[in-house]
Structure 1
Amino acid sequence: MTDTHTPRGLAETYFLCWRRRDFTDLAPHLADEVAFDGPLASVRGREDCLEGLVGLARATTHLEVERRLVDENDVMTWFSLGVGGSEPTPVVNWCHVEDGRIRAIRVAFDPRGILAAG
């Protein structure tokens, strides 16, 4: 597993767990009140966030991280995502870290290809 003591390490763990479809290693690194916001869902709290991530991971057919940028407690990860039969869609994921835990996750992408495939 990666170094989870840094924002970059937490973001790497997030994506490694997604690829493995197992978020056990990520769960303790999410704040109790973590907020997830994206074009297809907004959830609050660790359990609801993990449930959404597990569901998305099950449907993921392609996940390729292309670039990761870190600015103090914020990490932006640019990646391509395929879900179901969709062509890979460019996505940006912003993780905000406070007190050593991911407190906020925001994603931005055009959902039309994913919705059309589903």
Structure 2
Amino acid sequence: MTKTELSAKLATGWIEAWIRMDIEWLRDHLTPDFVHTSPFGRLAGREHYIETVEPMARKSVQRLKIEEVVATNDQAAIWFENLTPQGAIPSCDWVRVEDGKIKEIQSFYDSMKVRQVLSPNEQSNLCGT
């Protein structure tokens, strides 16, 4: 498998893991020093990220639908739709792969509908490193 194929596979796996709420897949495929940046802020560390995001994802994500994946070498962009209780959010994640695992993701989306579902305290938890 080429680097480009692996990047595309990991980007797709990332969204599919959230569709299934497969936390073990995330633990197996994110580096220990994984970093996630979103409109809410930056979370560093795989375990910190999972512990912070999983309960909120269970509350705010009703369905994810992959639209397109574009990959090159050790990076991929995945375009998907996130259906929340407040409606659909077009989203894009920029995935960076290192040594066969996901090292970093930058997420791009309008956070308004997510903010309507999460409490202010939950939202503030998404800002920490």
Q: TM-score, normalised by structure 2?
A: 0.79
Deviation at 1:114, TM superposition (A): 2.4
Higher relative contact order (CA 8 A, sep 6+): 2
| SS of residue matched to 2:52 | helix
Deviation at 1:117, TM superposition (A): 4.4
Match in the other structure for 1:86: 86
Provide the rounded CA distance (Å) in 1 between the counterparts of 2:87 and 2:71.
28
Provide the rounded CA distance (Å) in 2 between the counterparts of 1:22 and 1:103.
18
Point out the structure with the larger helix share: 2
Provide the rounded CA distance (Å) in 2 between the counterparts of 1:82 and 1:56.
14
Report whether the alignment pairs 1:34 with 2:34. Answer: yes
**How many positions carry a matched residue from both structures?**
113
Provide the rounded CA distance (Å) in 1 between the counterparts of 2:46 and 2:117.
29
C-alpha RMSD of matched pairs (Å)? 1.7
Provide the rounded CA distance (Å) in 1 between the counterparts of 2:69 and 2:75.
10
Percent of matched pairs sharing the same residue = 25
Runs (4 or more) in structure 1 with deviation over 2 Å come to none
Provide the rounded CA distance (Å) in 1 between the counterparts of 2:69 and 2:56.
21
| Gaps in structure 1 of 5+ consecutive residues | none
Provide the rounded CA distance (Å) in 1 between the counterparts of 2:83 and 2:67.
14
- Is the Cα contact below 8 Å between 2:7 and 2:97 reproduced in 1? yes
Equivalent positions of 1:15-94 (< 5 A) are 15-59=15-59, 60-83=61-84, 85-94=85-94
| SS of residue matched to 2:110 | coil
Q: TM-score, normalised by structure 1?
A: 0.85
